[in-house]
Chain A
Amino acid sequence: MATEILMPALSPTMEEGTLSKWLVKEGDTVSAGDILAEIETDKATMEFEAVDEGIVGRILVNEGSEGVKVNTPIAVMVEDGESVDDAAQAVETAQTKTPESAPKATAASPAAAAPEPDTSPDWPEGTKLKQQTVREALRDAMAEEMRRDEDVFLMGEEVAEYQGAYKISQGLLDEFSARRVIDTPITEHGFTGLAVGAAFGGLRPIVEFMTFNFAMQAMDQIVNSAAKTLYMSGGQMGAPMVFRGPNGAAARVAAQHSQDFAAWFMQIPGLKVVMPYSASDAKGLLKTAIRDDNPVIFLENEILYGRSFDVPDIDDYTVPFGKARIWREGEDVTIVSFGIGMSYALEAAEILAKDGIDAEVIDLRTLRPMDTATIIKSVQKTNRCVTVEEGWPQGSVGSYISSVLMQEAFDWLDAPVINCTGKDVPLPYAANLEKYALTSTEEVLEAVRKVTYK
């Protein structure tokens, strides 16, 4: 069969070169490894070898030609007994073959195609409830999952003997021993890589970051290895694991210890991102996270650890990902938040109710997957939306929600969406500055009054 010899590339960035010299002529028999020609590029001169044996059927580009584009046919090789005309025909056929046409990108479908939100309750009516702190709920979730699945283990700094810097792993070392509750050396990058390897090895690690601020050191392992390996390995090897720990501002710990990374992690395909507010969600979502076959970023909050909430007294209580929770139904405005932002959202809604403004408050709970259907449906009713988060404004979770609403609920909006976020500065230490740098109930009230024109 006739084969084309193409203008070679010395590197992927080379676009063209000079065919300086042919060392063979038409009719010559060549074997693999014989030098056919010399090619000159901006970088070097290169000898171009034959790959297979054959006869030089036709030379298509004369020596001395400059600016020969890479992959242009420069000669045709034929096999013994084949004529050059056959070769020419073969080339023509090859050139008229059209490659599989590229898929056409189409604009996102309109809101009409959006799926209906799942509005089922998290637990059946009449379920017995108990008061529990977020801290206890997280501990219970890990303990239950570790009892359920021998492959689950916890590792991090101070998680075993000290029972966690924020006492989340209380009692776990006693119950599960040092084989499954593991104190690590102080290198986030190191133990994250270690856990990623353990996940590839078939276990289900829970990695505790003392705070997510320290996870910055481990971003390469999280983003480049944990999140992408299932994809890169053609589906052969993934990393079922959970990265958890406090995220966002606490109190008086300043710039390097008070950051909300929700928007950062939310950007990465391959990761799932959870940021619970209540104790029941902390429990139900952490159990779901541990069972998930993908890497999950589980963002907790130091201030919320000690807060108590109703938790259903159910064996094996789980909450699905991608399902927002409507904390309060309302007609006048939609307030969307997650994590500690919910405190401001709920407090604002209470005050607004007294002023006669009926706010609907949505807790996203998971940021990836994000339940945008619930937000859209709510905005179709209220025609107004305010988002609340502690993170920085540029590229925030709120700015993503705004863009979704612009594209999918534009016709229903009666006012621009307002994003309440932290100020665009590293968090200062001084108490008064710290308070001002974060978002607040007052800011949410102000935003709601703006969008409702009151």
Chain B
Amino acid sequence: MPDTQKLSFHVPDPGLRPGDTPDFSHVKIPQAGSVRRPEIDESPAEMRDLAFSIIRVLNRNGQAVGPWAGSLDTERLIEGLRHMMTLRIFDARMMTAQRQGKTSFYMQHLGEEAVSCAFRLALEPGDMNFPTYRQAGLLIASGYPMTQMMNQIYSNEADPLRGRQLPILYASQEHGFFTVSGNLATQFVQAVGWAMASAISGDSRIAAGWIGDGSTAENDFHAGMVFASTYRAPVVLNIVNNQWAISTFQGIAVGEAGTLAARGHGFGIPALRVDGNDYLAVHAVAKWAVARARRNLGPTVIEYVTYRAGGHSTSDDPAAYRPKEESAAWPLGDPILRLKTHLIEIGAWSEERHVQAEAQIRDEVIAAQKAAESIGTMHSGRQPSPREMFEDVYAEMPAHLIRQRHEVGY
């Protein structure tokens, strides 16, 4: 008789749900500065260890330490702090605007500000991001006007997307921000295609694909990795692991073995894991990956280990699916607080300047909001003309759409 037993079905479980005491002891966090920095042309096979560790620069005392430190000067760091503060205040205002019925929907970045803000500084003009819905820091850090973002969120007459897209699914080719897709993960393989087109054309521009931990289960993620590996596309493949896909913990998408970064190994793509709440580490790793792409060394997978401190969107309440105190227990801290501490530590910042900057940024955000609201919000003010509805279905408007537009009086 063979040795058989009754089969049992396994479903990963986060272990902790509302009412439990948060516990992140399973997240192994190496000391800041302890993870090595390989040369950018090192063979992927030689750096497999980097997919199982976490690259960190800022230590507990706010000092920048180790081989990944020093990628940005002080002036740029202060700029970075301002970007993150702007994004946080922007988010808070828009969350409230949604509650007031000025828009139908919003998604905030709380706790994840460093990822997109720091990544943007590693790119050059002309490079293209294919983001998800939680990388507005790419826009803020590239100087995209906040009023434009709000016009889009309010879908008013000045909405650059002309009343056609869900709030926060921004698009700005000029700012290297591809239109956000409401269907998850489609952009990941498109980023690889865009990068491949750049290579076919002999151009110097590179692409960055973005995906969340949950959507790495989509076909597009795997197809993107296959093609990036096959054609050695000049692309940075960013996985933002914020631990939660709405109420589904990351173990459902990834299983309980390995890391998301390690998925790069099967494709022979260098894969790095980085502390997503460490502005300096994010920038240093992004810069390393961007340099590889630009030097024809091909794709890099980066997993940002971070934590979604807020709800997934305005439509869910995290208290219903995870312990309330979990966010405070997250061991990698708050990205803004950490960079602020560092700047104070090196004598480039102070509590007073921080308070001052916060007030100044709040005024800027409020001014932008007033400008957008003076045009209109979801249900009031000036709204997109019905004319907009018929445009851009095709590059040139076909006769039957011109006819339909005339029929409704525009």
Contact = CB atoms under 8 A, between A and B. Distances in A.
Interface of A: 5-12, 32, 43-44, 46, 48-49, 51-52, 70-71, 99-100, 102-106, 108-109, 113, 115, 151, 153, 179-180, 184-185, 187, 189-191, 193-203, 220-221, 224-225, 229-238, 240, 269-270, 272, 292-294, 322, 369
A11 B391 contact: no
Contact of A293 (B179, B198, B227, B395): B395
30 contacts: A5-B100, A6-B101, A8-B99, A8-B101, A9-B99, A43-B317, A51-B96, A71-B101, A105-B407, A106-B407, A185-B226, A189-B220, A190-B219, A190-B224, A194-B190, A194-B192, A197-B189, A197-B190, A197-B197, A199-B197, A200-B190, A200-B194, A201-B195, A201-B196, A203-B197, A224-B186, A229-B179, A231-B392, A233-B179, A269-B393
A194 B188 CA distance: 9
Given A12-B104, A237-B171, A198 B197 contact: yes
Contact of B130 (A49, A185, A197, A270): A197
Contacts of B222: 190
Most chain B CB inside 10 Å of its own CB: which residue of A8, A9, A103, A201: A201
Interface of B: 93, 96-101, 104-105, 128, 130, 159-162, 164-165, 169, 171-173, 178-179, 181, 183, 186, 188-198, 200-201, 207, 219-220, 222-224, 226-227, 230, 314-315, 317, 362, 366, 379-380, 382-383, 386, 391-396, 398-400, 403, 407-410
B128 A201 contact: yes
A52 B100 CA distance: 12
A153 B379 CA distance: 46
A178 B410 CA distance: 49
Contacts of A151: 201
Nearest to B223: A190
A115 B400 CA distance: 10
B173 A233 contact: yes
B129 to A, nearest CB: 12
A369 B392 contact: no
A99 B156 CA distance: 13
A10 B197 contact: no
B315 A201 contact: no
A184 B227 CA distance: 8
Nearest to B228: A194
Nearest to A47: B99
A230 B386 contact: no
Residue of A108, A115, A234 with highest tally of chain B CB at under 10 A: A234
Contacts of B98: 9
Contact of A234 (B101, B160, B183, B196): B160
A331 B279 CA distance: 77
Contact of A194 (B189, B391, B407): B189
Given A231-B392, A234-B160, A51 B196 contact: no
A445 to B, nearest CB: 33
A71 B379 CA distance: 9
Contacts of A269: 393
A164 to B, nearest CB: 20
A195 B223 CA distance: 12
A209 to B, nearest CB: 15
Contacts of B383: 99-100
B407 A233 contact: no
B223 A187 contact: yes
Contacts of A10: 99, 314
B201 A232 contact: no
B173 A220 contact: no
Nearest to B398: A369
7 closest cross-chain pairs (CB), A and B? A197-B193, A190-B223, A197-B190, A201-B197, A193-B189, A293-B395, A103-B408
Given A105-B407, A293-B396, A51 B201 contact: no
B26 to A, nearest CB: 30
Contacts of B195: 197, 201
A181 to B, nearest CB: 11
A171 B229 CA distance: 27
Contacts of A52: 366
Given A185-B226, A190-B219, A197 B393 contact: no
Given A224-B181, A234-B171, A193 B224 contact: yes
Quick one: which of B161, B188, B193, B195 has the most chain A CB within 10 A?
Answer: B193
Contacts of A180: 200
Given A9-B101, A294-B394, A232 B93 contact: no
Contacts of A235: 162, 391-392
Most buried by B among A51, A105, A238: A51
B99 A221 contact: no
Contact of B186 (A185, A221, A292): A221
Contacts of B183: 220, 224-225
A48 B96 CA distance: 8
Given A202-B201, A220-B183, A225 B162 contact: no
A11 B316 CA distance: 8
Given A12-B104, A231-B392, A198 B194 contact: yes
B235 to A, nearest CB: 9
B254 to A, nearest CB: 20
Contact of B220 (A190, A231, A233): A190
Contact of A231 (B130, B164, B186, B196): B164
Given A197-B196, A225-B181, A233-B161, A190 B227 contact: yes
A200 B196 CA distance: 11
B181 A203 contact: no
Contacts of B160: 234
B320 to A, nearest CB: 8
Contacts of B400: 369
Given A51-B100, A237-B173, A189 B219 contact: yes
A322 B399 CA distance: 10
B201 A190 contact: no
A201 B193 contact: yes
Contacts of A106: 407-408
B378 to A, nearest CB: 9
B392 A234 contact: yes
Given A12-B104, A109-B407, A193 B186 contact: yes
Given A220-B183, A233-B171, A51 B226 contact: no
